[in-house]
Amino acid sequence: MKLLFEKSVAGRASSILPVCDVPVVDLADNCKRQRPLRLPELSENDISRHYSQLERRAHGVNNGFYPLGSCTMKYNPRVNEAVAALPGFTDIHPLQPAHTVQGALEALSLAEKYLCAITGMDAMTFQPAAGAHGELTGVLLIKKYHEARGDTARVKIIVPDSAHGTNPATAAMAAMSVVNIPSGPDGCVDLDKLRAAVGPDTAGLMLTNPNTLGIFEKDILEITKIVHDAGGLVYYDGANPNAVMGVIRPGDMGFDCVHLNLHKTFSTPHGGGGPGSGAVGCKDFLAPYLPKPHVGVKDDAYCFRGDCPESIGKVKSFYGNFLVVLRALAYITTLGRESVADAAKNAVLNANYMMKRLSECYSVANTGLCMHEFVLTLEKEAKEKHITAMDIAKALLDRGIHPPTMYFPLIVHEALMVEPTETEGKETLDEAADIFIDIYRQAMADPESVHSFPLTTPVGRPDEVAAARNPILRYTFE
Amino acid sequence: MGHYLPSTDAQRRDMLDMLGLSGLDDLYAAAPAHLILKDGPHIPPGKSELEVRRDMAALAAKNTVFPSVFRGAGAYRHYIPAIVSSVTAKETFLTAYTPYQAEVSQGVLQSIFEYQTMICELTGMDVSNASVYDGASAAAEAVAMCRDKKRTKALVSAAAHPDVIETIRTYCWGAGAEMALIPAENGSTDMKALTDMLDVGVSCVYIQQPNYFGVIEDADAIGEAAHAAGAKYIMGINPIAAALLKTPGECGADVAVGEGQPLGMPLAFGGPYLGFMAATSALMRKLPGRIVGQTADAAGRRAFVLTLQAREQHIRREKASSNICSNQALCAMTAAAYMAAMGPGGLRDVARQCLSKAHYLAGALQKLGFGLVYQKEYFHEFVTICPCDSAALLAYLESRGVLGGLPVGDGILWCATEMNSKADMDVLAGLIDLYLKGGARA
């Protein structure tokens, strides 16, 4: 389909603003841009149709099953959208006097209180805009903690080899060197390897639990103890708490700080890649280091506390993705004490049910019960029949299912990571399982056929090598 | 009580039976039993949709929406055409994840490609990424991009937004790199001080255009000085002003960043906003975050994909240019829809109205004794002195439904946009006049 620029007609425009009602002022010539501003010239109808056409060439949770592992593509309740669109929230300036934004401050304070109760933390900031941003904030809290104690030798962050790529990348941004430790045969942290890795140079451990194989780290209390005994802190990567929210708390497992992806676990939409919210919670002893300002109460009114001399500073302007936090607050308020844990348990049930059904033909990397997600491996099929994880994923596209996460975690070859979430009913899981199994059988019967999928999508498999070799990153005007 | 679980008790029973489990709690056999919460977390009981809506509306009602706003300072009230929110409210755009599966994500990918093109046009740069979190983190990422083994120190103008300065400071501290402030002299970056500070250890110079005080910097001269010393040049720009002002490309910038909120995003108490980021071709592979590129499928059809991923964390891990993955995609689409709706003429008109109204407002305020602190070219913000107690004056304006300028030092930072009608500005002037004459205190 055409680009906006290819639909542009010189001289076409909409009438949006009134005529300027004050004398028109011009800039000094030496300040003015000389370069033409080549934005598209379109009618409102052109724009409406263009984006409707683009929408038909996209896939969201509203279009169908989206079991994208580690991304928790649960249903995004529309009441959350409705409340986040209230003018009392959208039309307030971030620098209004505190007494004119008491509702906004109360919302942030409530979200902090509830999410601390769910994670077992004592304080929380909403300044980070996404998970990776939360990770950076969390690791900077750890860095500041050691720095404040004058312990400058702690410059290493330990991450398991099953970790998300953001963990080592985050450690590097905090000028920490990364110590990778191999997982044990069961996919969990190898305690002996961990014991050998910790020492007086350990700043901390970054871990997600359940881990990226979808397995609950059974030795979690021993893991956090080993790191604490060595003087390090333990960071909870919040990619995966949908399995445990309301059931078991990171704070009780021994984690010192956590980040949450409100856009995963707490139902706010992903928007095609953002905006999210990477809220960071911590125990009391780390709270003085949280980004400033922090919501507090003074003389019975909510306020921003600016007096945070030990804070790491700011990681973003203002207070974070406020409207995203509101959506999460609406979600938690809806679920409440009873249903938060129910959501987690049903997510785990759905994953186990689907894993069991798929294990009829697929090899599963997990052993025993999984948590909210599980990992399939096509290693054998790839070796013997050249049927790859990519082939299965692309075949799913023709059946209206968004594929699982491919080729992650790195410790599993030809991996497909499946996370159904709790908002899918049994019949959806059954239909999807039938399709997965049908594709597998078809692939085994005729291995050549699967390399050509997908056939029904707007485009076939794009040439990614050519895209990277000869980057075309913008439209070129004639 | 509220929930979003479709499975019935009978279906749950079937699934548990198939797994050979007697209840949901059996699923957590691997977790330490004594840590399992028996009665859920300590939060209030759940609520129905109607109750939640009432609760949240009650919170919203505790905020004051000012009908008349003269405050900017990094968050600007502009008119948002109706088509913009209708585009971004489309369910599929709202609920899609990052476009990893290109075949079913062409709509999202193409929209980002169009956004990247518009940002290149606005900034006069060669390449744009798909967005970062906001203007402040964009500036911090740009500083990180320019650092190498020999050159590690960033010079940041003290006339930049305080939150941007603070964010750069945090990122630099984290990375173990130095940051120094270039002093502001008479409301703009002090050229003399900058020249003295430039040495072989300086990686980059960051300035904001127009700066925090609204003043238009001599961006060419600063860029020339930075480059003469072998440092990179980063400009943080206002995207509305960019329709009129000399582009970063024309000023010789290596990286252009900025806060994209004015491009169709509401004030929203500070977020979500949009960090835009563009660079010269030479720095393309140092850009952080997602980038969309054009290619073709086997049938030769044009297709878009996430590209140059060898820069990113999921491939490079600790050697990545940044850890960013999720960005502000829907906000980038908002900005693209906004720029499409305004068109080149419309965007220039918004900018010209901002400029003109700010000058009208400044004229009205000067007549009341609020002299301009800096006698320099400015865009839509400016600092005045305050001939009375500013806190008391602003409180009075507030009581009349007007959010006045922001107190900055001893003065007030005012802002006007196309949203401030002449009538509103005349009302403001009348209120201030009344206040100064003592008529308002009773």
Distance, CA of B326 to CA of A275 (rounded, Å):
7
Nearest CA in chain A to B30: A218
Question: From the list B47, B60, B341, which residue is nearest A14 (CB)?
Answer: B341
Domain coordinates of chain A in residue numbers? Answer: 78-334, 339-459
- pLDDT exceeds cutoff 50 at A330: yes
Chain A residue numbers touching B315 (CB-CB < 8 A): 165
Q: Compute and round to an integer the Cα radius of gyration of chain A.
A: 25
In this prediction, residues A425-449 reach a mean pLDDT of: 97
Which strand ranges, in their side-by-side order, compose the sheet holding B406-408? B381-384, B411-415, B406-408
Looking at the predicted complex, does its ipTM rise above 0.90? yes
Buried b (16+ CB within 10 A) or exposed e, B170-181: bbbbbbebebeb
For position A165, what pLDDT does the model report? 86
Mind listing the pLDDT tens digit for each residue in A143-166? 999 999 999 999 999 999 988 889
Is A282 strand, coil or helix? strand
In this prediction, residues A311-330 reach a mean pLDDT of: 98
Chain A residue numbers touching B128 (CB-CB < 8 A): 473-474
- pLDDT exceeds cutoff 50 at A123: yes
Q: Residue B418 CA to chain centroid, in angstroms?
A: 19
CATH of domain B68-72+344-436: 3.90.1150.10
How many C-beta atoms lie closer than 10 Å to residue A161's C-beta? 14
Q: Which residue from B242, A462, B120 is spatially nearest to B129, judged by alpha carbons?
A: B120
A273:B108 CB<8 A: yes
Closest-CA distance of chain B to residue A83, Å = 6
Mind listing the pLDDT tens digit for each residue in A265-305? 999 999 999 999 999 999 999 999 999 999 999 999 999 98
Q: Which residues pair with B306 in a beta bridge?
A: B292
Q: Above pLDDT 90, what percent of chain A?
A: 96
Indicate the residue type of A397. Answer: L
- The pair phi, psi for residue A332, each rounded to 5°, is -65, -40
For position B313, what pLDDT does the model report? 76
Give the angle A365-A371-A376 at the CA atoms, nearest 5°: 25
- pLDDT exceeds cutoff 90 at B441: no
Q: Which residues pair with A177 in a beta bridge?
A: A156
Q: What spatial distance separates the first Cα and last Cα of chain B, rounded to whole Å?
A: 52
Chain B residue numbers touching A368 (CB-CB < 8 A): 30
Closest-CA distance of chain A to residue B199, Å = 24
Mind listing the pLDDT tens digit for each residue in B206-260? 999 999 999 999 999 999 999 999 999 999 999 999 999 999 999 999 999 999 9
**In A92-249, alpha helices (H):** 102-119, 131-148, 166-173, 191-197, 220-229
Question: From the list A35, A273, A393, which residue is nearest B250 (CB)?
Answer: A35
Mind listing the pLDDT tens digit for each residue in A459-469? 999 999 999 99
Average pLDDT, chain B: 96
Mind listing the pLDDT tens digit for each residue in B138-150? 999 999 999 999 9
Mind listing the pLDDT tens digit for each residue in B314-349? 777 787 778 999 999 999 999 999 999 999 999 999
- The pair phi, psi for residue B388, each rounded to 5°, is -135, -175
Residue labelled with tokens 């159904």: A420
Q: Which residue from A376, A375, A365, A371 is spatially nearest to A352, judged by alpha carbons?
A: A371
Q: Above pLDDT 70, what percent of chain A?
A: 100
- pLDDT exceeds cutoff 70 at B376: yes
* Third-level CATH fold of B82-337: Aspartate Aminotransferase; domain 2 (3.40.640)
Distance, CA of B195 to CA of B171 (rounded, Å):
24
Q: Which CATH class is domain A339-459?
A: alpha beta
Domain coordinates of chain B in residue numbers? Answer: 9-58, 68-72+344-436, 82-337
Mind listing the pLDDT tens digit for each residue in A167-185? 999 999 999 999 999 999 8
B328:A275 CB<8 A: yes
Give Cβ neighbours of residue A32 (< 8 Å, ≥ 6 apart).
B244, B245, B246
Half-sphere exposure at residue A356, Cβ-oriented, CA atoms within 13 angstroms: 20
Distance, CA of B247 to CA of B204 (rounded, Å):
18
For position A478, what pLDDT does the model report? 82
In this prediction, residues B371-394 reach a mean pLDDT of: 97
Mind listing the pLDDT tens digit for each residue in A37-89? 999 999 999 999 999 999 999 999 999 999 999 999 999 999 999 999 999 99
In this prediction, residues B111-134 reach a mean pLDDT of: 98
Chain B residue numbers touching A66 (CB-CB < 8 A): 97
- pLDDT exceeds cutoff 90 at B1: no
Question: From the list A273, A322, A464, which residue is nearest B305 (CB)?
Answer: A464
A55:B107 CB<8 A: yes
Q: Is B280 exposed, middle or buried (0-12, 13-18, 19+ CB in 10 A)?
A: middle
Closest-CA distance of chain B to residue A189, Å = 14
Question: From the list B101, B131, B346, which residue is nearest A16 (CB)?
Answer: B346
Closest-CA distance of chain B to residue A219, Å = 9
pTM of the model: 0.98
Distance, CA of B43 to CA of B297 (rounded, Å):
51
**The dihedral sign for the CA sequence A56, A60, A62, A65:** positive
For position B442, what pLDDT does the model report? 41
Q: Above pLDDT 90, what percent of chain B?
A: 95
Indicate the residue type of B258. Answer: G
Q: Which residue from B178, B168, B154, B141 is spatially nearest to B257, judged by alpha carbons?
A: B141
Q: Which residue from B80, B150, B21, B43 is spatially nearest to B335, judged by alpha carbons?
A: B80
- The pair phi, psi for residue B79, each rounded to 5°, is -75, 135
* Third-level CATH fold of A78-334: Aspartate Aminotransferase; domain 2 (3.40.640)
Distance, CA of B256 to CA of B120 (rounded, Å):
9
Mind listing the pLDDT tens digit for each residue in B268-306? 999 999 999 999 999 999 999 999 999 999 999 999 999
Is A41 in contact with B126 (CB distance < 8 Å)? Answer: no
For position A131, what pLDDT does the model report? 96
Half-sphere exposure at residue B82, Cβ-oriented, CA atoms within 13 angstroms: 5
Is the link from the previous residue into A409 a cis peptide, with omega within 30 of 0? Answer: yes
